[in-house]
Amino acid sequence: MERILGLILSSFFVTAILLVPFIDFLYRIKLRRQHQITRDIFNKKTPLFDKFNSWKVGTPFGGGIIIILIVTICTFWAYGVFATQLRIWEIFVLFFSFIGFGLLGFYDDFKKLIDNTGWFGLRFRHKFIIQWILAFIIASVFYFQLGYDFIYIHAVGQLPLGILFIPFAAFVIVAFVNAFNITDGLDGLASGLLLICLIAFLIINSAQLDESLGIFIAVLVGAMIAFLYFNIYKARIWLGDVGSLSLGAVLAVIGLLTGKALALMIIGGFFVLEAGSSLIQLLAKKYLGRKVFPAAPFHLYLQQKGWEEPKIVMRAWLIGIFLAVLGVFMAFV
């Protein structure tokens, strides 16, 4: 436990020290949107979202870049210094998801900067296909190299899935990638909820004594605490797609590695709510020609109701804490 706490503190201080000059650098190179016009997955404008977020134009969005770099370097340093028994394929799926989805998000951020309608105009369906390809690679490693072929169900135990574990794990990864990306719409919302989820899985992992995973989570927790300081309202920096895609993927992978995929759905329940409300709304608009909710995702509905952004975020954190406690409880009993 002392080692884990030390890694959290070390990662926090390294990230905090580097974030200040990094943020200044992003402002100097103008790595930020110059206008606020967003579109949904059907390439239609989202005027309600733009209405509540137009004042944020100019905030740099490269936070995910420094998180990936710091966590990767610090984790491998910690592996070399502290670890006594590493699981190589486990490390592979952690960093393949962390860096692979980060690169996809980096491309998306770069596309937004140049606003090109040519090769850089990658549509959502193409990004969605790439997400599934990456997810199936990760899920295949889980099944063939790590031997995962089950899910744990509260009060039932392990439920064997066999080869079906591969599409199941791929679905979980893609779902959380997009859920995190959707939730990352208010200052501090997604990063604060992620921090709560990571602490919950650090508790779960403490009972499993998995060094490879425990060290990674500890380093990521420290980095996210430092990042959250600069990401809360009014944010000086955003994760960007490079951060939201990579962190959504790695949260799903952490949940799968602990063998607690259903606990992941509870611990990350607010992400599930955000994604579910958005998906229902989009499908209803496309196939029924009308809205089911006044606005979606859920946090946008609360904004439309008149809730101030900090109020939404802090209450979402409280919900996240409750769900994390519930998920950890169900993971152990």
What CA–CA distance (Å, rounded) separates 5 from 206? 12
In tens, the pLDDT along 137-193 reads: 999 999 999 999 988 887 777 889 999 999 999 999 999 999 999 999 899 999 999
Q: What is the pLDDT of residue 156?
A: 77
Residue 193 tokens, joined = 């909820």
Indicate the length of the chain as a whole number.
333
What CA–CA distance (Å, rounded) separates 67 from 241? 12
User: Which residues are CB-contacts of 272 (< 8 A; sequence separation ≥ 6)?
Assistant: 175, 179, 265
Residue 71 tokens, joined = 């966590």
Answer whether 295's CB lies under 8 Å from 304's CB: yes
- CA atoms within 13 Å, Cβ hemisphere of 66: 26
* DSSP H helices in 56-123: 63-82, 88-114
In tens, the pLDDT along 100-150 reads: 999 999 988 887 776 544 444 467 888 999 999 999 999 999 999 999 998
Angle at which helices 211-231 and 2-29 pack, to 10 degrees? 40
What CA–CA distance (Å, rounded) separates 158 from 208? 16
* DSSP H helices in 232-308: 240-257, 261-267, 269-287, 298-304
According to DSSP, residue 307 is labeled: -
SS3 121: coil
Element (H, E) at 158: strand 157-160
How much is the pTM? 0.93
Q: What is the mean pLDDT of the chain?
A: 90
SS3 42: coil
SS3 160: strand
SS3 33: coil
| Cα distances (angstroms) measured from residue 208 to each of 93, 184, 257 | 18, 31, 11
154 φ/ψ angles, rounded to the nearest 5 degrees = -55, 130
Residue position matching structure tokens 């998920």 = 327
For the chain, 333 residues long, give each residue's pLDDT as a single digit of tens: 889 999 999 999 999 999 999 999 998 887 766 555 555 554 555 666 666 666 677 788 889 999 999 999 999 999 999 888 899 999 999 999 999 999 999 988 887 776 544 444 467 888 999 999 999 999 999 999 999 998 888 777 788 999 999 999 999 999 999 999 999 989 999 999 999 999 999 999 998 889 999 999 999 999 999 999 999 999 999 999 999 999 999 999 999 999 999 999 999 999 999 999 999 998 898 888 888 998 889 999 999 999 999 999 999 999 999 999 999 998 887
What CA–CA distance (Å, rounded) separates 318 from 57? 28
